[in-house]
Amino acid sequence: MTIENGVGRRASGGIHRRSLLKGGAALGLSGALGMPFINRLKAQESHPLAGKKIEMNILGIAGWVPSSLGVAMSPLFADYTKERFGYDVSFGFAEAPFSDLFQKAATSLATRSQEYNIIISDSQWIGALAEPGWILRLDDVIAQNPGLQREWYSKAIIDTYMTYPDGSEYIWGLPQEVDTIALFVRKDMLEDPAEQQAFEAKYGAKLPQTFEDFEKLTMTEFEKVADFFTRPDKQLWGTAMQYSRVYDFCTCYLYPFMWSQGGEIWDPATGQVEGILNSPINAKAMEQMKHWLKYQPAGATNFGIAEEIDVFTQGKVFSAFQWAAVGSAMITEELRGKVLVVPPPKHGEGAEAKRVYTMGGQPWVINAFNDEEKMRVAIDFMNWWYQPEIALEFARRGGNPADKATLSRPDFDEINPWNRTYKYMLDHSRDFWHNPKYAEMLALQQEGFSSFMTGQSTDAAAVLNYIACGQQQILAEAGYSTIMPSDACATARL
């Protein structure tokens, strides 16, 4: 792979990237929000947009609270710009489901449209948006804006939401919603003396009660808990995970079984998939995840985010492996005080047990075709978004901020029930491909994983061979790998 204008490219063809931000980037805004209101009014700065009215549009994920929070908080930004810079701004919000959002963004950006000025992108789309020159590369913007020179809480944030190609220092996104997988459990059931006594009588061990108890727990140990609370006659099951073929649901929940036990999915440096994804470790991981269906309600092979929310809030499951980002939906008013959010279990046994889960979440990316005025507002917005008071307000409304200062506050863990686990899991999570062929690789993989989980295919190793061969072909044909599928791929079938 060669690097052209800071973008990973296949050997043939170049990349167009528009030169923007005439006259320099937006002013840094650090410190302004800490001023008393009257002083902020007096501190109005000279700004090229003073006296103007600007309409902006954000494209985000339908039904996803963190996406809507950015727009819900935009009136605060409008107040800020009016006081500080003397211009008026309003925001519209367009949306699409996870499975359709990339296509909606790409269809618009391919025409060089300003229809969406700021986009909430899934992290894996960065390469596909960057290579055609559709989004703004942010290295120079950050260098010229002290307000964007933040210290992020974890390197995983930089690797997941900001850089492309992987391992480079080229920045294309900024974290909007950082996300990790958490385990939501019914605290009221764990604390029930009758349940505690029955569990100890059956297993000779105590039910875990605290964050620290779950931090030590392995999947083998947690299986006893899931088994204990699986009571089909009472319409109660031990847990829920995501197995759906839709978008990346099954992929994100299978990867922890693989990664935590030493499995890998590819070599990003060479584009090699075959011989890495289709390993015995990963085949065993697939069998393990399928095994966990015995502790889940009927229809679990179709579970995605929404379905997990439903079964947990309806009291049909004791626990759920779920994104921290939907904590406010998982912990309804009726469940307030009855739910404990803890680290999901480690895989393996004893000192060798590890916890490596999948990163979720989304970055902000900026439309490269914005005119000068809209580009200026977009960068003013980013400067504003990362101010300490705004990051804290985002957290108070249920979002997951990214900067070290906010996450290190002594009161951060108490703001939301999931905050401590979200923060803890940042050091135990990783993202996957940012390659422009992400969508094709994912569709093939989801087909194979779903086929195995639903029983249409019964040989995990054969399914992995099928996926690995197909992904190797995709990457080789696109010029992202010089490695062609082996002759054995000719017979690979689901």
pLDDT per position as a tens digit, 319-339: 999 999 999 999 999 999 999
Mean pLDDT confidence for 296-325 = 98
pLDDT tens digits, one per residue of 419-431? 999 999 999 999 9
137 and 34 both lie in a single domain: yes
- Does residue 249 fall inside a structural domain? yes
Q: Looking at the predicted structure, is the pLDDT value of residue 147 above 60?
A: yes
Question: Is the pLDDT score of 27 beyond 60?
Answer: no
Residue 442 within a domain: no
Whether 418 maps to a domain, the answer reads yes
Considering the domain boundaries, does residue 453 fall inside one?
Answer: no
CATH number, residue 60: 3.40.190.10
32 pLDDT above the threshold of 70: no
pLDDT at residue number 296: 98
Quote the percentage of the chain above a pLDDT of 70.
91
pLDDT tens-digit readout, 250-287: 999 999 999 999 999 999 999 999 999 999 999 999 99
Is 325 in the same domain as 253? yes
Average pLDDT over every residue of 434-448: 98
Q: Residue by residue, what is the 3-state secondary structure of 349-391?
A: CHHHCECCEEEEEEEEEEECCCCHHHHHHHHHHHHHHCCHHHH
**Which of residues 5 and 134 earns the better pLDDT score?**
134
Considering only 65-74, 383-392, 427-436, 462-471, which range has the smallest mean pLDDT?
65-74
Kindly state whether residues 348 and 216 are assigned to the same domain.
yes
Confidence of residue 43 (pLDDT cuts 50, 70, 90): low
pLDDT band of residue 1 (cuts 50, 70, 90) is very low
Structure tokens given for 70: 């950015």
Query: In this structure, are 175 and 209 located in the same domain?
Result: no
Residue showing tokens 């108070």? 396
In a domain, 465, yes or no: no
Same-domain check for residues 97 and 160:
yes
Between residues 43 and 470, the one the model is more confident about: 470
**Are residues 354 and 217 in contact, defined by beta-carbon separation less than 8 angstroms?**
no
pLDDT at 45: 84
Residue 443, in any domain of the structure: no
Residue 25 pLDDT: 34
Judgement on whether residues 36 and 160 belong to the same structural domain of the protein: yes
Confidence of residue 11 (pLDDT cuts 50, 70, 90): very low
Where is 452: in which H helix or E strand? helix 438-453
Q: 265 and 400: one domain?
A: no
How many domains are there within the chain? 2
Shared domain check, 191 and 169: no
| Tokens coding 39 | 């002083």
* β-bridge partners, 54: 89
Separation CA 175–CA 407 (nearest Å): 14
- What integer pLDDT is reported at residue 164 of this predicted model? 97
Mean per-residue pLDDT of the chain = 92
Residue 272 lies in a domain: yes
Residue 375: pLDDT band (50, 70, 90) is very high
Q: Say whether both 402 and 305 belong to one domain.
A: no
Q: Would you say residue 471 lies in a domain?
A: no
Strand 118-120, strand 53-61: pairing = parallel
CA separation for the pair 347, 319 (Å, rounded) = 17
Do 19 and 104 share a domain, yes or no?
yes
Kindly report which listed range (25-34, 140-149, 227-236) carries the lowest average pLDDT score: 25-34
> Is the per-residue pLDDT at 8 higher than 80?
no
307 SS3 class:
helix
**Whole-number pLDDT of residue 44:** 72
Domain that holds residue 231: 181-359
3-state DSSP assignment of residue 460? helix
